């Protein structure tokens, strides 16, 4: 069982969290009181909705951890899950997020996570057969 699965198994037992599919439809999420709190989009990381206010307040501590990725201005952070210490870090931050969301007035739904899907491969149009020859024929008359 990898670290993400261990974290999900532990979060399943938290009475104030409900598990299910995330609004972004990729992976697995845990929500509380109308707020999606944490998303597992892959087996090696989790996105956590801390709110911008909490991130600004905790930023010095968050930047000390090599397991946390913070994007400027984002309300979500990413916690890389590689070992049990990372799972414990995530669980502690989920607790902070739950307290933060309990203090948010009025109740609002969580913004969509800012997880970025891998960029799609660019599609290069294939030239029609003989198209290059026609271009060359227009530029260079036959016989030269």
CATH number of the domain enclosing 7: 3.90.1150
In a domain, 128, yes or no: no
- Supply the range of the domain harboring residue 92: 3-117
Q: Please state whether the predicted TM-score (pTM) of the whole model is above 0.95.
A: no
pLDDT tens digits, residue range 133-144? 544 454 445 554
Q: What is the pLDDT of residues 23-71, one digit of tens each?
A: 777 789 999 887 889 999 888 999 999 989 999 999 999 999 999 999 8
Cα 58 to Cα 11, 68, 73, 101: the distances in Å are: 22, 12, 13, 15
Residue 75 covered by a domain: yes
What would the two tokens of residue 72 be?
Answer: 């400027």
d(CA 78, CA 60): 16
**Helix-strand-coil split of the chain, %, nearest 5:** 35, 20, 45
Return phi, psi of residue 99, to 5°: -65, -40
**pLDDT above 70 (res 1):** yes
144 assigned to some structural domain: no
Whether 15 maps to a domain, the answer reads: yes
Distance CA 96, CA 30 (A): 14
- Evaluate whether residue 33 is within a structural domain: yes
Identify whether 137 is part of a domain: no
- For the chain, the domain total comes to 1
Cβ pair 81, 46 in contact under 8 A: yes
pLDDT at 117 (0 to 100): 46
- Residue 81 inside a domain? The answer is yes
| DSSP-derived 3-state class of residue 79 | strand
């Amino acid at each position: 069982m990898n670290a993400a699965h261990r974290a999900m198994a532990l979060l399943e037992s938290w009475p104030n969290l409900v598990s299910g599919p995330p609004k972004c439809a990729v992976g697995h999420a845990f929500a509380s009181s109308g707020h999606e709190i944490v998303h597992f989009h892959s087996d090696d990381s989790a996105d956590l909705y801390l709110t911008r206010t909490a991130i600004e307040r905790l930023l010095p501590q968050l930047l000390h951890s090599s397991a946390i990725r913070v994007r400027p201005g984002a309300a979500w952070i990413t916690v890389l899950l590689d070992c049990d210490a990372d799972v414990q870090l995530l669980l502690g931050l989920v607790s902070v997020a739950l307290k933060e969301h309990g203090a948010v007035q009025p109740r609002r739904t969580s913004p969509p996570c800012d997880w970025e899907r891998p960029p799609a491969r660019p599609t290069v149009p294939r030239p029609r057969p003989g198209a290059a020859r026609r271009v060359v024929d227009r530029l260079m008359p036959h016989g030269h």
